[in-house]
Amino acid sequence: MTLPAGNQEGKSRIPSFKDLEVWKKAMKLVERVYALTRSYPPDERFGLTAESRKTSRSVPSNIAEGKMRYSQKEYHHFVSIAHGSPGELHTQILIGGGLGYLSVTDVESIEPEIEEVGRMLRGLMRSLA
């Protein structure tokens, strides 16, 4: 399929969002968040558990949605949205630790993963600007 003239600016050498290293790392982060939040109490099912999981899913989801857009401007916009989620997720993880739902070790083990995804998203945003 050929895109209409003028709409090919969002296409890059990377053919699919699934080929992006940041998307792969974000998907691994989703798996980690799901595993960690399994230990949350049942009364958090619709609270912190659901919110943390949703926030983690938003990172790879927004990367994928942006990559599928036709323009680089739209792609950048969705990566920018994705870039806000690691800060939100980090806060939710700290809340889980502060409430005693996660151990200090759990919190300390996931923090570098969250920070790495954030750095990678900043790099992707710079490459799209």
pLDDT in tens, 76-120: 999 999 999 999 999 999 999 999 999 999 999 999 999 999 999
- In this prediction, residue 70 carries a pLDDT of 83
Domain that holds residue 21: 17-128
Contact 25, 119 (CB under 8 A): no
Answer whether residue 122 is part of any domain: yes
In a domain, 11, yes or no: no
Contacts of 68 (CB under 8 A, 6+ apart): 17
Counting the structural domains of the chain, the total is: 1
Say yes or no to pLDDT of 14 above 90. Answer: no
With a cut of 60, say whether residue 21 has pLDDT above it: yes
Q: Is 66 helix (H, G, I), strand (E, B) or coil?
A: helix
Question: Is this structure's pTM higher than 0.95?
Answer: no
Domain harbouring 109, CATH code = 1.20.1440.60
What is the widest separation between alpha-carbon atoms in the chain?
55
Q: Does any domain span residue 74?
A: yes
